[in-house]
Amino acid sequence: MNEYYINKCLHYAEQASDDEEVPVGTVIIDLMTYKVIGFGYNCKEKKKNCLCHAEIMAINMACKKKNSKILKNCTIYSTLEPCLMCLGAINEAQIDTLYFGTKNNKNNHFTEQLFNGKTAVNMQNEKCSKILSEFFKKRRN
């Protein structure tokens, strides 16, 4: 089941990459229905807004869908370990579980310590690592 949701995230990461954004995709699952209630991908460049990370976009959508600022009984999946800003938003939304496809080397791997004792799982997904490395390799050339 987790691979299914990470593949959905990869679909959104590809959309970000097509828009020349850092390829990160996120989905939020309502654990009562197992349906996607929020999704997002990076659109910082397109929207000219540093807050438009994939996780923030997905949280905004899920909160609107649930008509609540609290997303208990939800799980968030992302292709990349969340940055500190997004991790704070995930905590504020009270999301129960976080799955991410690959580590974010920029945040010194604080996720496990900062996720308030909840479950954070690094899925070590090769596709998630590959889409990021290919994006940055292409940008350097």
20 is catalytic: no
Q: Are 26 and 54 in contact (CB under 8 A)?
A: yes
What the block records as the tokens of 68 is 């609540």
Q: Exactly one of 55, 81, 126, 134 is catalytic; name it.
A: 55
Q: Are 90 and 63 in contact (CB under 8 A)?
A: no
32 secondary structure, DSSP code: T
99 forms beta bridges with: 77, 121
Active site residues per annotation: 55
